[in-house]
């Protein structure tokens, strides 16, 4: 399922692409390959900090 669209040409983007394959506009930051793992690391870190306070 392709949930991201190009801002310029509205082409549906695959997950992890750095730019649109039609107009070569950079894809949104959330569509980058490193975005999901980085988000998960931050969430796990926040949960660990909250658990250490209790």
SS3 state of residue 18: coil
The pLDDT assigned to 1 comes to 64
- Which pair of tokens denotes residue 39? 């988000």
Rg (CA), the chain: 16
Q: Is the pTM of this model over 0.75?
A: no
* CA distances for 11 relative to 15, 21, 30, 39, angstroms: 13, 8, 16, 25
Higher pLDDT, 1 or 23: 23
pLDDT at 2 over 80: no
- Which pair of tokens denotes residue 10? 């509205």
């Amino acid at each position: 399922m392709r949930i991201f669209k190009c801002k310029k040409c509205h082409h549906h983007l695959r997950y992890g692409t750095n730019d649109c394959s039609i107009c070569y506009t950079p894809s949104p930051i959330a569509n980058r390959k490193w975005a999901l793992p980085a988000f998960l690391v931050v969430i796990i870190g926040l949960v660990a900090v909250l658990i250490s306070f209790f």
